[in-house]
Amino acid sequence: MPARIPSHVLVATSAAVLALTLTACGSSGRTAGGSSGDGALAWALTQGSEATFRASATEWNKEHPDSRINYQFFQNDPYKQKLRTAVGAGNGPVLFENWGGGGLKTYVDAGKVADLTADLNADPEWKNRIFPSVLESTTFDGKTYGVPVNGVQPVVLYFNKQLFEEVGAEPPKTWDQLLALVKKFKAKGIAPISMGGASKWPDLMWLEYLVDRVGGPEAFANIAAGNKGAWSDPAVLKAAEMIKQLVDAGGFAKGFTSVSADTGQAEAQLYTGKAAMILQGSWAYGTMATGSPKFVSAGNLGWSGFPAVSGGKGDASNIVGNTANFFSLSAQASAKDKKTAVAYLKDGVYNDTYIDSLLKNGDVPPVKDLDAKLKATDNADWTTYVYGLARDAKSFQLSWDQALSPELGNELLTHLDQLFLGEISPQQFCAQMDEAAQE
């Protein structure tokens, strides 16, 4: 199972854009509004679900020669800039892959993205098949501007079963149990928690879960709405204080602030027995399965939900992470291209062949009634677990650096890094974020 990498992890291997046109579809010059010479143009990433997209377009175009889908693929970092420029100029593709949240909302607010609400409502079978918690990432003011096209990526607490057996421990169900495990593992000379702190975004997973467990989804909803003083909510301050508590207790492996999350080094500390736990997205399963196939296949890798907080408002089923990647439709698309694109999203995405391709690649799509298909996968225990998390979650919160505007997301990662490093206090973190949110 290949590693599933979120948008803030993917690293471009070249400064130049790599555009790969799907040869089976052909490609001629793109005109304003995003139409190509022989079909509706779709932009997507070279990483992740490219193989599924390619196969899907080939199948679709064979069956729909008069309403073709034409893919072009780009590396992650150049793609963001190219998309921003093209969409801003009203010259983007008909369909474009995105991560929902704040980034998509900037395009929506500029009137560059088509509203898909009526199309979804016109076909309840299509809309009702998708997990509602995932659609929330592209829904603003009650209108939906994108549909998911790959798999869910929740954040889970992984643990080394061998190390847990060595100290006679169980995965922590509460925050107090987690703190007790920190002491227990440190006494045995084992790092309690591994983390790629140099990349900053892994820090965010701790804040997201703690704010949810303490204050429930409403605490971040106020932040996302831009409400004044939302970052000084008692739940946010409490979460920041709990992070400081965990850092001060020596919860993280020595040198965690210099470990890059992009290299797999943090996961390696888990499967080599140097650390007992790691909080990471579902893509880390693939990293560990690739890094140490024997460790994973032998059943030594365990996983669990994030611990509850005593007296907290957040439901134990609530999860955070990347809800999925999405396709959105350009508001400048012609009527013909829009009709083609909507038909493709409805019937060409998440059909049986498409889902089988995703599952083969390790993706778990957020659609209902997949239990039988999941049981047939090579890693059925894992895929079934991930599917259950997404299906049963009362709240699936999009990673904050994606849910917020790009500018505020960057401010958040900077100040949160300072909190983990002990350079600012929890109170200063909240105050600085309140200030950044009002700029």
CATH number at residue 283: 3.40.190.10
Q: Is the same domain home to 314 and 420?
A: yes
In a domain, 387, yes or no: no
Identify which has the larger pLDDT, 2 or 140.
Answer: 140
Residues 213 and 299 in one domain: yes
Q: What is the mean pLDDT of the chain?
A: 90
Cβ neighbors of 331 (< 8 A, separation 6 or more) are 111, 112, 113, 114
Higher pLDDT: 173 or 7? It is: 173
- Say yes or no: 291 and 423 in one domain: yes
393-410 pLDDT, tens digit each: 999 999 999 899 889 999
Residue 124, domain member (yes or no): yes
Q: Give phi and psi for 109, each to the nearest 5.
A: -60, -25
Same domain, yes or no, for 186 and 294? yes
pLDDT above 90 for 4:
no
* Chain centroid, CA 400 distance in Å: 10
Comparing 78-82, 250-254, 419-423, which segment has the lowest mean pLDDT? Answer: 78-82
**What is the per-residue pLDDT across 138-189, written as a single tens digit (0 to 9) for each?**
999 999 999 999 999 999 999 999 999 999 999 999 999 999 999 999 999 9
> What pLDDT, on the 0 to 100 scale, is given for residue 49?
86
**Which H/E stretch holds residue 56?**
helix 50-63
Residues 305 and 341 in one domain: no
Cα separation, 177 vs 101, in Å, equals 33
390 in a structural domain: no
Rama region for 82: left / alpha / beta (φ>0; ψ in -120 to 50; rest)? alpha
Residue 37 has pLDDT above 60, yes or no: no
- pTM of the predicted model as reported, rounded to 2 decimal places: 0.82
Query: Does 43 score more than 90 pLDDT?
Result: yes
Residue 19 has pLDDT above 60, yes or no: no
Least confident of 77-91, 246-260, 262-276, 329-343: 77-91
Task: Indicate whether 21 pLDDT > 60.
Answer: no
Domain identity same for 230 and 272: yes
Q: Which pLDDT does position 39 carry in this prediction?
A: 86
pLDDT digits (tens, 9 = 90+) for 344-383: 999 999 999 999 999 887 789 999 999 999 999 888 999 9
pLDDT of residue 438: 92
Between 31 and 146, the higher pLDDT residue: 146
Biggest distance spanned by C-alpha atoms of the chain = 68
Which token pair is 100?
A: 């929902």
Q: How is residue 109 written in tokens?
A: 């607010």
> Can you list the alpha helix ranges (DSSP code H) found in 167-252?
175-187, 201-215, 217-224, 234-248
Higher pLDDT, 27 or 284: 284
Residue 420 and residue 142: Cα distance in Å, rounded?
A: 37
* Nearest alpha carbon to residue 93 among 326, 332, 324: 332
Together in a domain, 187 and 281: yes
Overall domain count for the chain? 2
Residues 274, 422: one domain? yes
* Residue whose C-alpha is closest to residue 333's, from 26, 42, 59: 42
Mean pLDDT of the 201-214 span: 97
* Phi, psi dihedral angles at 71 (to 5 degrees): -90, 145
Examine the domain organization and report whether 178 and 240 are in the same domain: yes
Summarize the confidence of residues 196-224 as an average pLDDT. 96
Domain that holds residue 265: 153-320+399-437
Domain-located, residue 337: yes
Question: Do 300 and 179 share a structural domain?
Answer: yes
- For residue 177, being part of any structural domain is answered with yes
Sequence length of the chain is: 439
Q: Give the residue carrying structure tokens 């007296």.
A: 311
User: Both 191 and 227 in a single domain?
Assistant: yes
User: Would you state the pLDDT for residue 11?
Assistant: 31
